[in-house]
Amino acid sequence: MRRYSGLFLIVAVFWISGLIPGRAQVLVESVAAIVGNEVIYLSDIENMVLDLRSGGNRRPVEELRCHVLRELLTQKLFIDQARIDSIEVTDDMVEGEMNARLNDAIRRSGSEEALEKYFGKSLLEIRRDIRKALIDQEIVGQVQGSVAGNVTITPNELKKFFNSIPSDSLPVVPARVQISIIQFDPPDNEENKAEARQKLLDIRGEILDGKSFAALAVLYSEDPGTAPRGGELGFMLRGELEKPYADEAFSLTKNTVSRIIETRYGFHIIQMIDRNGDLINTRHILIRPKVKPEQAAKAMHQLDSLANLIRKDSLKFENIARRYSTHKDSRINGGKYVKTNPSERDTWFTLEELNPQMYVQVRDLKIGEVSEPFRTTDEDNNEVFRIVRMDNEVPAHRANLKDDYQNLSNAALMNKRAKAYDEWIRKKVEVTYIKISDEFRSCDFLDEGWLR
């Protein structure tokens, strides 16, 4: 946990990442507080309160103002300490993130002009604000790392943490499973691909003859997320698009239609709507290859034969998965099914995390059992055929040290670090010059040592 719990790192980051059109910026330059050499302006607080209210927070305004002030005071303590410790963060260290946030803000608002109008600032000033916000964010993280970066949890501390939680307050952990799969793509799928391409060629011909791309996208596109709005994706960066799609789209001029391109989702034609610097807005029509009944029957028969041989111990599931499965992510692990999020390569799934067809097959399996063949869709929503084996299962239960050791260890570590931050803040407040405007004197938290 690198960031203090609940910390509002800086107002500009929230404005840019959570753009809410239609709200004018409040510009009041009165000083709300001073922390060491750091200043908190009343405009900082009022703008953050407005953002929270616009985002759906319905707590009383005065309560929100006190909450935001506390978070900003805490932030400034960390920044003041960074000055004392000579911690420096250069523009180059945040340049990449700054560009990404700025481009995302432009995409959300629709154009550079709309973004400038929203903030009442030039793009140069907005860029400066984001850069300053990210530098402060990185500084806070470095100071927090020096405060609690070396904090660890021993087994005894974990046990004490667990025992301190009332039994009726322990969360109920849903049932989790570990599974392995063998996947077959549709046999003779090249024929299906050729038919999909031909259908898209016919649609493209209609567009070139003058029919509306958007209307045909509503009628024919198999992308459920964009078809209802005429195939429009909205402004996106190159890196947010599939590479073949991006390469083709960025080569188009306004209102032109692409040739047919293939991605892992199927076949597309693209129309360029508009371009704004590194952002493009396109619409597309997606056609996926269709599986014929005889192809489905063939795949199901092959998987059924393999499943029977595995059940008889004539073949090993792992060996078949490595040799024949077309699911690249699990094949190298002998079929072991793993979450696709790169930051969470976990093999445990709740049933709700599986797609409906997988859910139906897995829910009644016992450990070691292999399912019947079934038809489903893969992570790219393409039709595939699978068998699944139940490798392990933990029923739904109250959290306990045996089954949930790692999750409880993480919670205990976060709790210990939060206490380290609280203790550091308490001591830092005692030795730091702090001046708070009288209009905030009614905030209850100020009685915790913030006032002299």
What local confidence, expressed as pLDDT, does residue 18 receive?
42
Q: What mean pLDDT is predicted for residues 195-214?
A: 97
Same fold, 11-154+411-448 and 189-287: no
Contact predicate 260/248, CB 8 Å: no
Q: Could you tell me which CATH number the domain at 11-154+411-448 has? A: 1.10.4030.10
How confident is the model at residue 29, as a pLDDT?
A: 62
Nearest to 389 by CA among 436, 335, 432, 353: 335
Domain boundaries, the chain: 11-154+411-448, 176-187+291-398, 189-287
pLDDT for residue 207 is more than 70: yes
- The answer to whether the Cα torsion of 130, 135, 138, 144 is positive or negative is negative
pLDDT band of 6, cuts 50, 70, 90: very low
Sequence letter at residue 97: E
Distance CA 52, CA 270 (A): 38
Band of pLDDT at residue 27, cut at 50, 70 and 90: very low
Give the per-residue pLDDT at 354: 95
Please say whether the structural domain 176-187+291-398 has been given the CATH code 3.10.50.40: yes
- 22, pLDDT greater than 80: no
Residue 8's pLDDT band, with cuts at 50, 70 and 90, is very low
Q: What percent of the chain has pLDDT over 90?
A: 72
Percentage of the residues of the chain whose pLDDT score is greater than 70: 93
Helix axes 61-84, 123-148, angle to 10 degrees: 70
Amino acid identity of residue 122, one-letter, is: S
Please give the DSSP secondary-structure letter assigned to residue 259: -
Give me the mean pLDDT over the 399-416 stretch: 93
Pairwise CA distance, residues 283 & 273, whole Å = 7
Longest distance between any two alpha carbons in the chain, whole Å: 82
**How far is CA 414 from each of CA 22, 149, 154, rounded to the nearest angstrom?**
38, 11, 13
Q: Does the domain at residues 189-287 carry the CATH identifier 3.40.120.10?
A: no
Whether the CB-CB separation of 186 and 291 falls below 8 Å is answered with: yes
Residue with token string 């959570």: 18
DSSP code of 347? Answer: -
Pick the range with the lowest mean pLDDT from 91-105, 123-137, 289-303: 91-105
**CB half-sphere exposure, 275, CA atoms < 13 A:** 14
- The confidence score (pLDDT) of residue 342 equals 65
Average pLDDT of every residue of the chain: 89
pTM of the model: 0.71
Place of tokens 């029977």: 308
Which has the minimum average pLDDT: 21-30, 75-84, 406-415?
21-30
pLDDT tens digits, residue range 100-136?
888 888 877 777 888 888 888 888 898 898 998 899 9
Which secondary structure element, helix H or strand E, spans residue 5, and what is its range?
A: none
- pLDDT score of 53 more than 90: no
Nearest 5°: the CA angle 47, 49, 52 is 110
Question: How far apart (Å, rounded) are the C-alpha atoms in residues 19 and 14?
Answer: 8
d(CA 68, CA 38): 16
First to last CA, the chain: 31
Is 240 or 373 the better-scoring residue by pLDDT?
373
Classify each residue of 160-195 as buried b or exposed e, where b means 16 or more C-beta atoms within 10 Å of its C-beta.
ebbeeeeeeeeeebeebbbbbbbbbbbbebeebbee
Q: How far is CA 109 from CA 119, 241, 352, 423, 435, in A?
A: 11, 19, 34, 42, 38
pLDDT at 17 over 70: no
